[in-house]
């Protein structure tokens, strides 16, 4: 029986690409929204979910922090994908025939140079791969799409220009979510621990809560705050550290964190993607 992994977007999206790279024998299931992705795994319609969580240019991916804490899903892996965009059109399209270019608003913003140089009119689409599908349906040589290379293969478009993104470091970090908590073993390579917590409404509570990570030599790689319950005094934090909860330093830091916080919840303990080591050199 083929296992299934859900992702947000249409076939040919970057999320589809990363599913194919790391789960080639699985059925990749496209979903219209992030909410649908979470629902697919929670209901058993898919075994895992592939979710983008950070981008090196755009920052954190909106909405994920709303779904993740209460979803009951766990982070079991992470993958980094170098984001590459191509300019593509139906057969017969040339740079001279193009008048409008379609893509997601973030992709258009990340490919301003080629749009400006050629005087294309940008048109916002709901999804990068969806833009390619729409251009294929238009069958109009004046319409082009900025989409991942995979979309050109799927929708029968010709690539007119490769790597049209302005920054060559454009990278998205994806996390794999599972209904089962599967922790990476301790002492068998670099590990990341993701967790959420609420800070007590006390003076210097956050400073004191995080002090244990510094004194125990634990490297914190992510700390993001979110308002919860519509209250300005109730703040939830999503944090990530290098190390395993069984490591002495991480264990002591989490114990100290508990004195100044409430509702600590470990979201996942998983192997660090080798990309982390590459970029830190």
Q: Alpha-carbon distance 166 to 153, whole Å?
A: 23
Could you confirm whether 100 is annotated as catalytic?
no
Contact 209, 192 (CB under 8 A): no
Contact 188, 93 (CB under 8 A): no
Instruction: Tell me the residue ranges of DSSP E strands in 157-205.
Output: 158-161, 171-178, 191-199
Give burial (CB, 10 Å; 0-12/13-18/19+) of 105: exposed
Terminal Cα distance for the chain, rounded: 42
Q: Alpha-carbon distance 268 to 194, whole Å?
A: 5
Q: Which of 93, 172, 193, 261 is catalytic?
A: 172
Could you confirm whether 172 is annotated as catalytic?
yes
Q: Write out the DSSP string of 18-32.
A: HHHHH-TTSEEEEES
217: left (phi over 0), alpha (psi -120 to 50) or beta: left
Would you call 229 helix, strand, or coil by DSSP?
coil
Q: What angle do CA 228, 232, 234 make, to 5 degrees?
A: 45
Q: Alpha-carbon distance 271 to 264, whole Å?
A: 21
Q: Which of 34, 120, 174, 195 is catalytic?
A: 174
Where in the sequence numbering do the catalytic residues fall? 172, 174
């Amino acid at each position: 029986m083929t296992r299934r992994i859900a992702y947000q977007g249409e076939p040919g999206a970057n999320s589809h690409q990363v599913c194919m790279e790391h789960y080639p024998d699985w059925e990749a299931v496209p979903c219209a929204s992030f909410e649908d992705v979470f629902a697919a795994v929670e209901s058993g319609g898919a075994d895992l979910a592939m979710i983008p969580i950070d981008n090196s240019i755009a920052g954190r991916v909106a909405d994920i922090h709303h779904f993740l804490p209460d979803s009951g899903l766990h982070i079991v892996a992470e993958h980094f994908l170098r984001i590459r965009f191509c300019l593509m059109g139906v057969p017969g399209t040339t740079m001279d025939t193009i008048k409008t270019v379609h893509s997601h608003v973030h992709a258009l913003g990340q490919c301003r140079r080629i749009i400006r140089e050629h005087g294309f009119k940008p048109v916002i689409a709901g999804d990068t791969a969806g833009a390619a599908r729409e251009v294929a349906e238009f069958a109009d040589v004046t319409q082009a799409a900025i989409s991942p290379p995979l979309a050109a293969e799927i929708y029968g478009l010709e690539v007119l220009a490769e790597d049209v993104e302005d920054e060559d470091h454009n990278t998205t970090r994806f996390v794999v979510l599972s209904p089962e908590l599967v922790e990476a073993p301790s002492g068998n390579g670099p590990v990341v621990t993701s967790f959420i917590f609420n800070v007590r409404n006390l003076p210097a509570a956050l400073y004191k809560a995080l002090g244990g990570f510094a004194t125990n030599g634990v490297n914190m790689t992510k700390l993001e705050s979110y308002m919860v319950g519509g209250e300005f005094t109730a703040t939830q934090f999503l944090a990530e550290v290098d190390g395993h909860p069984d490591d002495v330093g991480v264990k002591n830091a989490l114990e100290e964190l508990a004195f100044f916080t409430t509702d600590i919840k470990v979201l996942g303990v998983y192997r660090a993607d080798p990309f982390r080591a590459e970029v830190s050199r």
